[in-house]
Structure 1
Amino acid sequence: MKFIDEKLRAPPRPTAHVPAKPAISAGDCGLLLVRITFGLLMAGHGSQKLFGILGGEGLDATGRGFAALGYHPGAVYAALCGGSEFLGGLGLALGLFTPLAAAALIGVMINAMATVTAAHGLWETNGGVEYNVCIAVVALAVAAIGPGRFALDRPFRWGRGGWPEAAFAAFAGGIGAVVVLSL
């Protein structure tokens, strides 16, 4: 009986060769490079304001600068801006709480555009808004794409990116900027 069953059984179908996905793709490395570059640059800007390192003036001098821009008390807003840049930058670089990190950077960049660089136009050599726009767009794009394979967020739902994560980053960053600008 076994012999007859083996003869009646259909031969196995040939399977198409499916190339294996590489362990590490160029996209994974590219996204990591973008996250680390923008994230650490922003964390550096924040550390200048907060700690006076990397050529920064520190919290007291930065607070006086914020007060001159109309942010009162200046030291509080300098700490808020520096903290948002520092923690948002580190979060983006590490791929940790990515939508929240992106929101922090977006909010700071909206404020910077509204109070400092908007008067200079888009491509002004003395500080137009193009720099701020680029940072905000990169932060939003990373929230939308997701932080990638080499991120601490990878095991979590928000670590895959998507429309909800991008919407959260844009909305929270925008609301934060509106609150700060209206105070």
Structure 2
Amino acid sequence: MTTTTSAEAATEAPALTSAHDTSRPGSDIGLLILRIGFGALLVVHGAQKLFGWFGGYGLAATAKGFGSMGYNPGRFFATLAGLSEITGGVLLVLGLLTPLAAAIALGTMINAVHADWAHGFDGYQLPLVYAVAVAALAFTGPGRISLDHGRPWQRAGAVWGLGAIVLAVVAALITLAVS
């Protein structure tokens, strides 16, 4: 029978690792794929709204649609949504100011879910998927393959994730209240 010291047992036991643990490169690659995938798709959605790119309707038609959904003035809210999607998306792709990027994207998606609620699950399914993804990124942070990594402003974890969600909900509620 062998005996182990408490120090040996501690090194043998599986340890909890942080999102920034250098021994988990797969997590960093996964976060990079998630950030780039959802961030780029958000940029495309914003460009559709503002510029009509990627098969979008452009600002005039989007503004009319926003107005018909009760977001008045439609042009203001269409511009706000498009700029929020582009800004949040670019920041996510870069892994820069990640909790803020997640809050921007999440606030926009909360309004998108609200706007599509009447259409049932098929209507709000896509914005809900985006919301879940960016909420997860708010908590995990961007990973090591990002502009945030190792910088003094890098923030991740439960407090920052919760802060991003609170900011997103407050911003979404303000938008709904003034529209």
TM-score when normalising by structure 2 = 0.82
For the 8 Å contact 1:32–1:150, the answer to whether it is kept is: yes
| Identity in percent | 44
Match of 2:5 in 1: none
Match of 1:102 in 2: 102
| 1:168 lines up with 2:163 in the alignment | yes
Q: Which ranges of structure 1 fall in alignment gaps of 5 or more residues?
A: 1-15
State the one-letter code of the partner of 1:119.
A
State the one-letter code of the partner of 1:84.
S
Match of 1:29 in 2: 29
For the 8 Å contact 2:110–2:169, the answer to whether it is kept is: yes
Matched ranges for 1:117-128 at <5 A: 118-122=117-121, 124=122, 127=123
Match of 1:151 among 146, 150, 175: 146
In the TM superposition, residue 59 of structure 1 has moved relative to its aligned partner by: 1.1
Q: Write the distance in 2 (CA, Å) between the matches of 1:22 and 1:92.
A: 21
In the TM superposition, residue 157 of structure 1 has moved relative to its aligned partner by: 5.2
TM-score when normalising by structure 1 = 0.81
Q: Write the distance in 1 (CA, Å) between the matches of 2:110 and 2:22.
A: 39
Cα 1:165–1:22, aligned 2, differ >3 Å: closer, same or farther? Answer: closer
In the TM superposition, residue 48 of structure 1 has moved relative to its aligned partner by: 0.8
In the TM superposition, residue 131 of structure 1 has moved relative to its aligned partner by: 1.7
* CA-to-aligned-CA distance 1:9-46 (integer Å, 9 cap, x gap): xxxxxxx9x9xx87871111111001100000011100
Number of aligned residue pairs: 160
SS at match of 1:132: helix
4+ runs of 1 displaced by more than 3 Å?
A: 21-24
Matched ranges for 1:83-94 at <5 A: 83-94=83-94
Q: Write the distance in 1 (CA, Å) between the matches of 2:176 and 2:153.
A: 28
Matched ranges for 1:56-75 at <5 A: 56-75=56-75
* CA-to-aligned-CA distance 1:100-128 (integer Å, 9 cap, x gap): 11011111111111122x12323x3xx2x
| 1:76 lines up with 2:51 in the alignment | no
Instruction: Say which one has the larger Rg.
Output: 1
Cα 1:88–1:22, aligned 2, differ >3 Å: closer, same or farther? Answer: closer
In the TM superposition, residue 177 of structure 1 has moved relative to its aligned partner by: 0.5
Cα 1:157–1:131, aligned 2, differ >3 Å: closer, same or farther? Answer: farther
State the one-letter code of the partner of 1:182.
A
| 1:141 lines up with 2:136 in the alignment | yes
For the 8 Å contact 1:99–1:158, the answer to whether it is kept is: no
Match of 1:40 in 2: 40
Q: Which ranges of structure 2 fall in alignment gaps of 5 or more residues?
A: 1-7, 12-20
| RCO comparison, higher one (Cα < 8 Å, 6+) | 2
